[in-house]
Structure 1
Amino acid sequence: MKTPGFWYRPDGPAARLLSPLGALYGLAGRLRRACTTPRRAPVPVICIGNLVAGGAGKTPVAIAVAAALKDRGRAVGFLTRGHGGAERGPLAVDLARHDTAAVGDEALLLAAHAPTWVARDRAAGAQAAAAAGAGLLILDDGFQNPHLHKDLSLVVVDGAVGFGNGRLVPAGPLREPVAEGLARADAVVVMGEDRAGIAALAAPLPVLHARLEPTAEAAALRERPVLAFAGIGRPEKFFATLRDLGALVVEAVPFPDHHPFTPNEVMRLAERAAALGATPVTTAKDAARLPEAARAMVRVLPVTVAWRDPAALDRLLDRVAPPVPESV
C-alpha cells in the first residue's frame, strides 16, 4: 500500500471523513487485545514495534539490537510474520532456498544476521525457534499482536514525522491510539532528529535516540548523480538520506510499501538512469525484492543504526538479557 499523503499533513477533510472507520479499527484492536491471553515463550522475547503503519526503522533497529545481544554472548533468533510472503510457518528461513515470494523481504534481511523464523502464529513460531536453539528472540514488528508475551517492548518512531495527523487507519497512520500503545511499551526509540516532540509525548518512558547512518562503502555515492527508488513506508526518508550523504539525486521514484518489482520495471529504471547519466540506487529492503537477474544493475545503499547513547540500550537489555559471563 502506498502511504496516503494526508496521513502526515495537518488534519484535513479526508482524515475527518474517514475518522469513523478509524474509530472502528481502534475498537477492533482493543477488543482483540482484551480477549486474548498472551502465551509465554520458553525464552525471553524482545519486541521491536511501532504505532504506525509503514516504515519507522524497525528492521534496522532489530538488527542493531541483535548485534548488541550477540556481544553479550546471547544466542539470538529473529521472529517475524513474513509480510508479503506466502509461507505461514513456523518456518526457519534458508537464504539458499527462500525468496521474498515465500518469506517476504524483511525475513531475508534478518536472516543475513541471525537465524530467523517466519510464523503467522507468533507463539508457535517462538516455540519452534526455542526448540531449534534460540536462547532469546527478537520479534520484528508484532507489537499489536496479543498472542505472544513480550518481556521487553521498544517502540520505534520516525522523529521527522512522529505519529502523523494523530488519527487511526485509514484516517491516519496509527495502528492504535498513542496513549494506549505507549502504556504497553518499555521504551521509545526516536529515529533521527526529534522534530515531532516524541520525547515529551513518551515521558516518563526511557527515550533512546538513534539514526540511520550509511556505511563507509556508501561514500562512493557522494557527488555522484543517482536515480533513487524505494518501496518502503516513507520513501522520502531514503531520498533525504542520499541527499544528506552528498549524492546528487537527479530523480526520485517512490513505490508502494513492499512493492514486488518486475524485471520490466527494473529495466525501465535502469534505462531512465542511463539517460540521465545516473546510477540507480535503492534500499537493502527493496533490493531483496528485485528479480535476481536484475540486482547487478542496481546499487544498494547499506545503512546501520548509530545510537546516541549506547549505554541507554545496555541498561534496557540488562533487564532481560544480562551479559553471559566469560568462561574461565
Structure 2
Amino acid sequence: MVKLSAPSFWFRPQVKLWPAVLTPLAWAVARVARCRMQRKGWQAPVPVLCCGNLTVGGAGKTTVVIDLVQRLQARGVHPHVLTRGYGGKVPNGTQVMPAFHTARDVGDEPLLLARYCPVWVGGDRAVTARCAVSAGADCLIMDDGFQNPSLGKTVSLVVVDGAVGLGNGHVLPAGPLRETVEDGLARTDALLIIGADRHDVERLAQSRNLPVLHAELEQVDAPEVLRSSLYVAFAGIGRPEKFFEGLRSAGIKVVEALPFPDHYAYNNRDIARLQAEASRLGARLVTTPKDAMRLPASFRQNVVVMNVRLVWRDPQAPECLLDTLLARQA
C-alpha cells in the first residue's frame, strides 16, 4: 500500500541535521510568503471568515467549516464556502454541483461541503468571492486560503491539530510550516486547537495575546452492529492516524489500518487490494467521508463511511467568534 509522504523529521524536533541543511531554502520560502501576503486583496461587501492553518496537511478545517456553516444558517445567515478544490480541473469560479461533478472535477472537500451550502472552487479567492456574492451569499467562509492574499479577511481562525502542533517549527522544506509562526500569528484573530494540546501551542498563542479555543473531533456514535464486526480502515487525509484512533475510541474493531497520502485518487488496483485485504481478514471496509468522495459510486456502496463531528470545549466559543465576524462587517 502507498505510504504517507511527509518527512518524519518534520514532526521530530530532536532531529537537527535535515532542518539545518534545508534552512537556506526555508528562509527563501518564508521571504516569498511574507512578500506575497503584503498584497492587498479584494474587500468583499459581506463578512469573510477564513479557516486556515500554518502547516501543510489536514488539521480538521473542513469539519470546522461545516460546523460554522450550520451555526450561521441557524442565525438566518446564508453563507457560501470558498475553497481551492485540490486536484480539480474545473475553471476558477465554478459552483460545485454534486449531481454533476466528481472529485476529479472539483476535489473531495468541495463535494462534501456542498451537502451543506453553496460551494465555489478556484485558486483566486477574489473571483470565487465575487461569484458567491452575485449568487446571494451574505457571508463567505474560506476553507483554507490563510496564505492567499487575493481576498481580504474579516476574521481569520487558525486551526491546529493538537497531536502534532506546528511540527518542528521550521518552514518548508525544513518543516511543515507554510510561513513563519510569527508572520502567521500576526494575522490571526483566534486559534483553534483540535484534540489534546501535546505541544504547548496554547502557551505560544497566549504569549501573543491571541484567544485560544478548544474542540475535539468525535466519531458519530456507531450502532452496535458496527461494533460487532471487524474492519479494515483506510484513509487518504492529512493525518490518517487520527481517523484510525477515533474508530478505536468509538469501539470499532480495526484489524488493519491502511494510510494513503492526502487527497489520494484511488484507482482500480487500489480498490482490488482493499477488497482482497478485507476478504482475507473476514472484515468490512471503513473510511472517511472525504475518502468516500474519491471512490467510484459502485464501490462506495460497499464501504462504511464513518462521520465525525466537532465538539467545542466551550459551547459559547464559536458563537462569540461569529458575533465578532458579523459585528465587524456591520
1:216 alignment partner, SS class:
coil
- Equivalent residues in 2 for 1:1-328 (5 A)? 2-12=5-15, 13-34=17-38, 36-203=39-206, 204-217=209-222, 220-222=225-227, 224-321=229-326
Q: Which residue of 2 aligns with 1:325?
A: none
Q: State the number of aligned residues.
A: 321
1:96 alignment partner, SS class:
coil
The alignment-based identity, stated in percent, is 50
Q: Distance in 2 between matches of 1:293 and 1:6?
A: 39
* Residue deviations 1:1-25 (CA, integer Å, cap 9, x gap): 7222221112422232222212111
* Residue deviations 1:200-234 (CA, integer Å, cap 9, x gap): 11112111111111113466433532111111111
2:192 alignment partner, SS class:
strand
Structure 1 residues 147 and 218: alpha-carbon distance in aligned structure 2, compared to 1, 3 A threshold: farther
Q: Distance in 2 between matches of 1:223 and 1:49?
A: 38
Flag structure 2 segments of 5+ consecutive residues without an equivalent.
Answer: none
1:257 alignment partner, SS class:
coil
Q: How far off its partner does 1:314 sit?
A: 1.1
Q: Distance in 1 between matches of 2:322 and 2:60?
A: 19
Q: How far off its partner does 1:41 sit?
A: 1.1
2:316 alignment partner, SS class:
helix
Q: Distance in 1 between matches of 2:88 and 2:183?
A: 30
Check whether the contact 2:34–2:183 (CA below 8 A) recurs between aligned residues. no
Check whether the contact 2:221–2:250 (CA below 8 A) recurs between aligned residues. no
Opposite residue 298 of structure 2, the aligned amino acid is A
Considering only aligned residues, what root-mean-square deviation do their CA atoms show, in Å? 1.4
1:64 alignment partner, SS class:
helix
Check whether the contact 1:46–1:138 (CA below 8 A) recurs between aligned residues. yes
Q: Distance in 2 between matches of 1:123 and 1:219?
A: 47
Structure 1 residues 224 and 196: alpha-carbon distance in aligned structure 2, compared to 1, 3 A threshold: farther
Opposite residue 158 of structure 2, the aligned amino acid is V
1:320 alignment partner, SS class:
helix
Q: How far off its partner does 1:42 sit?
A: 2.2
Q: Distance in 1 between matches of 2:36 and 2:250?
A: 43
Check whether the contact 2:80–2:117 (CA below 8 A) recurs between aligned residues. yes
Q: Distance in 2 between matches of 1:174 and 1:223?
A: 41
Q: Distance in 2 between matches of 1:2 and 1:107?
A: 23
Opposite residue 75 of structure 2, the aligned amino acid is R
Runs of 4+ in structure 1 over 6 Å off: none
Opposite residue 303 of structure 1, the aligned amino acid is V
Flag structure 1 segments of 5+ consecutive residues without an equivalent.
Answer: 323-328
1:168 alignment partner, SS class:
coil
Q: Distance in 2 between matches of 1:233 and 1:177?
A: 20
